Chain A
Amino acid sequence: MKSKIDIAYEQYIHQERRTKRNVLFTQFLLFVLFVGVWELASTQNWINPLLFSSPSRISELFINKIGDGTLLVHIAATTGETLASFVIATIFGTACAAILWWAPFVSKVSDPYLVVLNAMPKVALGPILIVALGPGYISIIAMGVLISFVITTLVVYAAFHETDQNYIKVIETFGGDKKQVFQEVTLPAAIPTIISTLKVNVGLSWVGVIVGEFLVSKKGLGYMIIYGFQVFNFTLVLLSLFIIAILATFMYTGVGMLENRWRKR
């Protein structure tokens, strides 16, 4: 009896492993196929090689740029700006949310302004930022912060606001004041929401920083894109795109790991 279950279980595990292997293999195959077809189409002139470049040209450029050290400078600049705007936006947004929660009057007064700010395409403020803060990395970071902090404030405030009243009542029956309610209930109860806004903010910070670099920068991956576009070097544009995709994925995965670690507690 038991051995029959064991056998069935072994089969099940075996099947699961096989499915997993097949998925990985297909994913890999697709990637190879994509790169291969692209390369072929480019060398055979089925697509315009000036516009779509080719994997070999992109990797050649990659090796060159790594070699002369310029690529790392660009990557460092953009990553630094993105991380800075991501961290600042999250902390600043959560702090604003805390103020709104703390002072209902402030929250009522600021409500329509927040709605307008949230609806507004923040990118449109770019030129004003540059004039106000100068054409440097401060403007770029400000752009990244601006784009994600309003939504962080709104979402985290909503989480603070929706804290189960009964948990608050528990603290109040012990004589807890508002500060203790915030420390012991409101903030910890909102941690899952804050972590999920981190995920959104990763993406938004990248948008803000790249747009910022389009507008002002002399370095960074956004600058590489604009420069490549201006001198009609699409190999450079595509290289930047790939690097951005990889870096953004790393950051997103990092936040995902943070989330898992918190869940396990």
Chain B
Amino acid sequence: MAFLTVNQLTHAYFSTQSVTTALENISLQVEEGEFVSFLGPSGCGKTTLLSLIAGLMPPTIGTVKIQNENVQKAHNQIGYMFQQDYLFPWRTIEENIFIGLKIQHKLDKMSKTFALDLLEQLNLEHTRTKYPHELSGGMRQRIALVRTLATQPVLLLLDEPFSALDYQTKLKLENLVFNTLKEHQKTALLVTHDIGEAIAMSDRVIVFSANPGKIKSIHTIPSELQKMEPFEVRNHEDYKHIFQTIWEELNELEVEN
């Protein structure tokens, strides 16, 4: 039994004027510890898929199961990272990284120590008593990572977490997130528009087509590259080749639309 099972998932958004089918018949299995990326044109339903996997809304049709349990009951197993950090501006950094623990009524000495240790590992302990607006974008996104990991989720959902950052910060954070997740043996799903990022970070890349969102193809990254840090992967000779294949595929999709 796979760690995450998405079974024949279809999701439509309703308004009084219209129906938008965002996803159609998505089936997908992810093993424990695996890192999977979603690539696809804008509006193909990637965020919708992550929201469904996070149990934020019930799917129109189909099921999502984590370790054979329906996701609606699995909130404490999931961590979610957004395109922007969404740190609460009225809370200090420390209060921000404890928020998940507080919500889940798990705020005790041990969990606090764990969160603060994470903060230290990411070289951010000096920000504890500061407010988010006093920090740079890259620091804030690292804090958001700490906040997400503080509740010790087993499955991480990352919705374009690096896209609002400058290139250099982004490359550094890719390495950091990759290493942190591997170290804690997390399973992760990453949504991105950056083909290179998808290849560099993942074990598998899933390409979606739009209107409605469907799985177009699945690319398994060679095991040699899977083990490397993202920055090294970008410099590997096989990288270009895989990039080219996916690039052409995405171009075809654009022509079809």
Contact = CB atoms under 8 A, between A and B. Distances in A.
Interface of A: 164, 166-167, 169-176, 180, 184-185, 188-189, 191, 265
B151 interface: yes
Interface stretch (B83-91, B113-121, B169-177, B247-255): B83-91
A174 B75 CA distance: 6
A175 B75 contact: yes
Contacts of B79: 173
A105 B180 CA distance: 45
Given A166-B84, A180-B103, A184-B103, A173 B78 contact: yes
A60 B100 CA distance: 65
A176 B103 contact: yes
A176 B84 CA distance: 20
Contacts of A175: 75-76, 103-104
Contacts of B56: 169, 172-173
Given A172-B56, A174-B99, A166 B86 contact: yes
29 contacts: A164-B86, A166-B86, A167-B86, A167-B88, A169-B86, A170-B82, A170-B86, A170-B99, A171-B99, A173-B56, A173-B75, A173-B79, A173-B80, A173-B157, A174-B75, A174-B103, A174-B104, A175-B76, A175-B103, A175-B104, A176-B103, A184-B88, A184-B99, A184-B102, A184-B103, A188-B88, A188-B90, A189-B90, A265-B90
Going nearest first, the 7 A-B pairs with the smallest beta carbon separation are: A175-B75, A173-B80, A174-B103, A174-B100, A176-B103, A166-B86, A170-B86
A176 B101 CA distance: 10
Contacts of A173: 54, 56, 75, 78-80, 157
A88 B86 CA distance: 34
Given A166-B82, A173-B78, A184-B88, 8 more contacts: A164-B86, A166-B84, A167-B88, A169-B56, A169-B86, A170-B86, A171-B103, A174-B75
A191 B76 CA distance: 29
A39 B103 CA distance: 67
Given A166-B82, A180-B103, A184-B103, A174 B151 contact: yes
A45 B75 CA distance: 82
Nearest to B54: A173
Interface in B95-117: 99-100, 102-104
A174 B151 CA distance: 8
Interface residues of B, number: 19
Contacts of B103: 171, 174-176, 180, 184
Contacts of A167: 86, 88
Contacts of B88: 167, 184-185, 188
Nearest to A166: B86
A174 B86 CA distance: 14
B82 A169 contact: yes
Nearest to A167: B86
A174 B102 CA distance: 9
A164 to B, nearest CB: 8
A172 B151 CA distance: 14
A67 B132 CA distance: 57
Contacts of A265: 90
Contacts of A170: 80, 82, 86, 99
A188 B99 CA distance: 14
Contacts of A171: 99, 103
A175 B88 CA distance: 17
Most buried by B among A167, A170, A180, A189: A170
Contacts of A172: 56
Interface string B67-83: 00000000110111010
A184 B105 CA distance: 13
Nearest to B96: A170
Most buried by A among B75, B100, B103, B151: B103
Most buried by A among B78, B88, B151: B88
A188 B89 CA distance: 10
A68 B141 CA distance: 68
Interface in B187-201: none
A174 B97 CA distance: 12
Interface in B21-63: 54, 56
